[in-house]
Chains A and B, each alone.
Chain A
Amino acid sequence: MNQLAIDLGAVLAAAAPLIFATMGALLSERSGVINLSLDGTIMLGAMGGFTVALVTNSVPLGFGGAALIGAAIALILCILSLTLGQSQTAVGFVLALLGIELSSFLGAPVVRVPGPSVPFLPIPLLADLPIVGVVFFRHNLLIYLSFLLVPFIWWMLFHTRMGLTVRALGERPAAAFARGVPVTRMRYLMCILGGALVGIAGAAYSLDLRQGWSYRHTFGMGWIALAIVIFGGWRPWRVAFGCYLFAALEIVALRSQRTMAGVPTQVFQVAPFVLMILVLALVNLVSSPQALRRIASLPPTLRGPVAMLVSRLAVAAPAALGQRFERP
């Protein structure tokens, strides 16, 4: 029982960087901008954040630096795509590659150099609670913030006027424009805020979960974050669930590696990614037109619940995602 609690706590901690990255991507995509540079941004954020923290010997400054790097990459994406009208997909993809290579090049001096990390901060009293304390309250400030980020983003998107505007930008920018919203400026803002969160996700790896820096330190996490946002249907809670699911798969793979020594380690490293793809494919299959037609031909008693389940699972992307808005 205690081991399970420790494992659950480890899952919550391991998911923290993904939470920051996916919530950042979510903000950006909800406003209609798809930031494909995530993988490069996380890598540069990890490298930059670690270097800043190492040089200044200050973890908060490290996170600040990582946030700035993420914001700067998002700004480049915005200028090229929103202002100059280039394809968001192409620009984002190139930025991802650039970020990956640049982090290897610039980060060479700090490879495997020991550096500062986020200090352990159990919450007094709560940490001593049985089970719950172990799962939730024996982490550091970063992990606690990741717990708070999800409800905050959810509240912002669905319970504030600001959130309504952001969602309108992603669904139908022309409607937002008709209501007097400065569409491009707001999209810049959301994309840059989102980028800062993605940068923080990078520093969360290098200053906490995988302390230090090495070649391609966080490779692949950005792509996984993008996939989780799609799988989560652009809904904060479901996206968070996806992050925790992925972290859990990673932990399970790690544990199995010990118990099943005969299986090559690569299998366990790849397994979470493959499982994610399977889940994504399943979700999309269930929501395809053919599946909907099947559902329509089910007996009436079954049809209602199944249709409801599918409509819950299948969520369409923001309608204007990736599209440029030109004022008339």
Chain B
Amino acid sequence: MEIAVTNLTKTFGSLRANDGLSLRFASGKIHGVLGENGAGKSTLMKLVSGFLQPDAGQLAFDGQPVRLRGPGDALQAGVGMVHQDPLDVPGFTALENLLCAAPRRAFPSRAMARTTLTTMAQRLGFTLAPDTPVGAMTVGQRQQLEIVRLLACGARTLILDEPTTGITAAQAHALFDALRQLAADGNTVLFVSHKLDEVAALCDTVSVLRTGQLVGEQLPMPQPQQRLLELMFGERIVQASGQALLLAGVSVSEPQGLPVVQPIQDERSSEASPTRPLVWQLEQVTAREGMVRLRNVDLRIPQGRVIGLAGLDGSGQQILLRLLAGRLHPDSGRILINGVDMTRARTRTYREAGIEYLPADRMRDGIVGALSLTDHFALLQPAGITVDRQVAAQAAREAIAAYEIKATPITPLIALSGGNQQRAMLALVPDACRGLACEQPTRGLDVASAQGIWQRLQARCATGCSVVFASADLDELMAYSDEILVFFAGEMSAPLPRATLTGARLAELIGGVGFERSAS
């Protein structure tokens, strides 16, 4: 199925998310769509799949002009989209999800739907059980279910928006194989990503968007990475030097193995750590949260170190972070902060000792969306009856300048972009902070914002603050950690110095290959 867009325009307020795009996707091929965050990739895909309606311009499927009133129309015409967070119903089983509001001709009966699900899953190499509740599935499986559903409902063009975020390497492999098979069967696949290596591994052609405009149209793959980077980021990449290039180099790693990055803080890592005072000291700590349990953890983190926590989501790294931040009390064992026993202390005591926590879900656990930066600084003031708004506003102005936050002191934080929210959260961490526990500090940020966050974090390390962070991004772990702790099914490895690791080795460890629990 051939998809053609002509002069497509979509604006949100003053933002031109798609600005006169004209583009043609040939059938039977896998088309990559590249661009950094906010380049307009998702908007374009939502226009093609009927989720959004264009302000101007036309869509044509197989040469026929179409007007889509909603995603239902698009699916009827044969275009289906798998969203980054798959749009399914958590309370339903896989089978119910398939049947929900599906056209009657797709599944004449429940039994037929069951057969369709199992046969299609088998053909595409997916692992789906019809009676599993969607809420109990991994993101990867939910994606697979959506693909099966869309195909069964008659989709001949599949759009995937950042499909590899949040899924395991094995699932990504299965997904890529399935997509290649679908393309070979004559389907069209549009693959939206900002990861160059994935596009290189999978796509036949690639189109690049930048600030809502098409800057590279249907380039045949393979393309030199440097050229794609230039298209994605414009001149910035040319100006960039030192660390920026390093970062860009990290983000475009080869699919067969991640390069070992030059250590940034050689002189720091070579220092003998035992001589430095310890920020955190865990002795035989056992803790449980939900179904995951960490047992007999011994850990010593001296000042000024960056410790990366690697592992699949829910392997225990969140528990460790929450233990370190005092948000979770251990069932047994001792936690010492700066040498003081704080095993059962309250969160407030932890903060008074200079321990701060940056949660992954900014809007839920991190900041109050409706309040401004000034309000947040006012909240940090010592307890009393009144707040000093002038002092708070001054602090907010300083933070905005120092952290390059694109906001005024009185903008509600919910109106900020993800990168700005993250910088704001970091700005709220007091200078006296001795230990910072971050959960996915750069989640959802583009390369430039992520780099900005890390510059700030490293600046704090230089003053003796220790950073412990969990990340799903191997490149990030390899680029910034002094030592990496790998988590696998509630077990924690010994601290592995980065120099002894390669990206490929780390990926294996996360998958449990050659994983060894730290001796305790």
- Which residues of A are in contact with B by a Cβ distance under 8 Å? 161, 164-165, 167-168, 171-172, 174-182, 296, 319, 327-328
Decide: B89 and A181 in contact? CB cutoff 8 A.
no
Q: Which of A171, A174, A180, A319 contacts B101 (CB 8 A)?
A: A180
A327 and B99: CB pair below 8 A?
no
Complex Cα spacing A167 to B100, Å? 9
With A168-B101, A175-B87, A177-B70 known, 19 other A-B pairs at CB within 8 A are A164-B99, A164-B100, A165-B100, A165-B101, A171-B89, A171-B90, A171-B92, A172-B88, A175-B88, A175-B100, A176-B100, A178-B83, A179-B72, A179-B101, A180-B70, A180-B71, A180-B72, A319-B90, A327-B70
Q: How would residues 79 to 119 of chain B score, 1 for a CB under 8 Å from any chain A CB and 0 otherwise?
A: 00101000111111000100111101000000000000000
- Shortest CB-to-CB span from A315 to chain B, Å, is 10
Our pick among A165, A172, A182, A319 for the contact of B87 (Cβ within 8 Å) is: A172
Q: How large is the interface on B (under 10, 10 to 19, 20 to 34, 35 or more residues)?
A: 20 to 34
Residues of B within 8 A of A (CB): 46, 51-52, 70-73, 75-76, 81, 83, 87-92, 96, 99-102, 104, 288
| For the complex of A and B, 8 pairs with smallest distance between CB atoms | A180-B72, A179-B101, A178-B87, A164-B100, A175-B87, A171-B89, A178-B71, A181-B101
Interchain CB contact under 8 A, A164 and B96: yes
Are B51 and A172 in contact (CB-based, < 8 A)?
Answer: no
CB within 8 A of A179: which of B102, B104, B288?
A: B102
In Å, the complex CA distance between A5 and B223 comes to: 83
* A270, chain B: closest CB distance, angstroms: 36
In the assembled complex, the Cα of A178 lies from the Cα of B71 at a distance in Å of 5
Q: List residues of chain A with CB within 8 A of the CB of B70.
A: 177, 180, 182, 327
Q: Which residues of A contact B99 (CB under 8 A)?
A: 161, 164
Q: How far is the CA of A180 from the CA of B46 in the complex (A)?
A: 14
Q: Enumerate chain B residues within 8 angstroms of A327, measured Cβ to Cβ.
A: 70
Contact between A168 and B92, CB atoms less than 8 A apart:
yes
Q: Are B73 and A172 in contact (CB under 8 A)?
A: no
Closest partner residue, chain A, to B70 (CB atom): A180
State whether A168 and B100 are in contact (beta carbons under 8 Å apart), knowing that A178-B51, A328-B51 are contacts in the complex.
Answer: yes
Checking A167, A168, A180 against B73 with a beta-carbon cut-off of 8 angstroms, the contacting residue is A180
Instruction: Tell me what chain B mostly uses at the interface: helix, strand, loop, or mixed.
Output: loop
Q: Please pick, from A174, A179, A296, A319, the residue contacting B100 in the complex, using a CB distance under 8 A.
A: A179
Residue of B with least CB distance to A296: B288
- For A161, the closest partner residue in chain B by CB is B99
A177 touching B89 in the complex, CB below 8 Å, given contacts A164-B100, A328-B46: no
- Report the separation of the CA atoms of residues A167 and B88 in the bound assembly, to the nearest whole angstrom: 12
Shortest beta-carbon distance from A252 to chain B in Å: 36
Chain A residues with CB under 8 Å of B104's CB are: 161
Q: Take A168-B92, A174-B87, A179-B101 as given contacts and tell me if A328 and B52 are in contact as well, using a CB distance cutoff of 8 Å.
A: yes
In the complex, the answer to whether B71 meets A177 with C-beta atoms within 8 Å is yes
**Cβ of A175: which chain B residues have Cβ within 8 Å of it?**
87-89, 100
Q: A171–B87 contact, CB under 8 A?
A: no
Q: Is the CB of B91 within 8 A of A176?
A: no
Cα–Cα, bound, A168→B90 (Å)? 9
Instruction: Find chain B residues with CB under 8 A from A165 CB.
Output: 100-101
Residues of chain A within 8 A (CB-CB) of B92 are 164, 167-168, 171
Instruction: Tell me, in angstroms, the Cα distance from A167 to B81 when the chains sit together.
Output: 22
Q: A181-B72, A328-B51 are in contact. Are A176 and B46 (CB under 8 A)?
A: no
How far is the CB of A303 from the nearest CB of chain B, in Å? 12
Contacts of A296 in B (CB 8 A): 288
A296 vs B293: C-alpha distance when bound (angstroms): 12
